Amino acid sequence: MPKVRTQDLLDNFNLTLVAGEDGVHRELTTSDIHRPGIEMTGYFHYYPRERLQLIGKTEMAYFLDLPDDTKKKRMEQLCTDITPVIVISRGMEIPDVMLETADKAGVPILHSPRQTTRVISRLTNYLESKFAPFTAIHGVLVDIYGVGVLLTGQSGVGKSESALELVKRGHRLVADDSVEIRQEDYDRLIGNSPPLIEHLLEIRGLGIINVMTLFGAGAVRSYKKISLIINLELWDEKKQYDRLGLDEDKMKIMDVKVPKVTIPVRPGRNLAVIIEVAAMNFRLKRMGVNAAEEFSERLTSMIDQGNEID
């Protein structure tokens, strides 16, 4: 589980620490953000104290209307021992009672000049990315015409060699050998390379090569959404392979099902070209053009015409 601390928010966003400096190393354990509106009224029965607390214009306006002794009590209730941080948006002036109570409890208060909705959006995206489910898969990830293609298959089948040929044809390498995948949202998989082997390709007989050094910065990218999986396997004479493309197979990675194509490998087949065409065909299908279905419809139409003549 990745760790996110209040200090990370300071490092990555336009936020200013105004109180609770002793607590900047407090950890956030969830991507959920809470606006303590009902808590300002005194109802703390379901207070999610482990979440980032964000005070906007509405919450602040209500707080300022409270009696002085009630303000102090509310802040003491908000600033628990596990509350990671309180963010105050819109560049609003912060009452002294908030600053004093937060300093005493060691709860950081961060000040943002941005609007509340924009602060929530940016912080949520950042935290969702950090806390997204994570896995790693043996394979190669390549960006082909904007389509993130994950090449899988047993070791030595030719994944890295195909990726090298694709890079030579103008496409971009994301990761070789090990692909780190995180699930963002419910249907989005983002793949990247482990830092140790970023931009590197292992070619048997040649060794490790640095793709960015050889082909330039335009030949690599740091991460890419995985849209298509192409599984490379050695040709099996006894196996019946799909020759029309009507059947759609899928592979489940975490909670997401990704379209999958199996390509048999044997001498004489230009894998790089086949993979490239598979990516282009996938793009066409997303645009509503399906060659296999068009052929099937033509065939059905000709059969129907033949039956009518008979």
Interval 78-137: pLDDT, tens:
999 999 999 999 999 999 999 999 999 999 999 999 999 999 999 999 998 889 888 999
3-state secondary structure of 255: coil
Q: Which pLDDT score, from 0 to 100, does residue 300 have?
A: 79
Q: Catalytic: 51?
A: no
Identified catalytic residue from 26, 111, 159, 224: 159
Identified catalytic residue from 3, 25, 118, 138: 138
Per the annotation, where are the binding residues for Mg(2+)?
160, 202
Per the annotation, where are the binding residues?
153-160, 202
Tokens at 112, concatenated: 């943002």
Q: Which amino acid is it at 189? A: L
Q: Catalytic: 285?
A: no
Q: Which pLDDT score, from 0 to 100, does residue 180 have?
A: 95
Q: Catalytic: 238?
A: no
Estimate the share of the chain in helix, then strand, then coil, as percent rounded to the nearest 5. Answer: 35, 30, 35
Q: Domains in the chain and their CATH numbers?
A: 4-130 (3.40.1390.20), 134-295 (3.40.50.300)
- In sequence order, the 6+-apart residues with CB closer than 8 A to the CB of 289 are none
Identified catalytic residue from 177, 260, 283, 285: 177
Q: Catalytic: 250?
A: no
If one compares 128 and 142, the residue with the highest pLDDT of the two is 142
Confidence band, pLDDT 50/70/90 cuts, at residue 209: very high
**20 pLDDT above the threshold of 90:** yes
Identified catalytic residue from 243, 252, 266, 304: 243
Q: What is the mean pLDDT of the chain?
A: 92
**241 pLDDT above the threshold of 80:** no
Contact, 170 vs 141, CB < 8 A? no
Confidence (pTM): 0.76
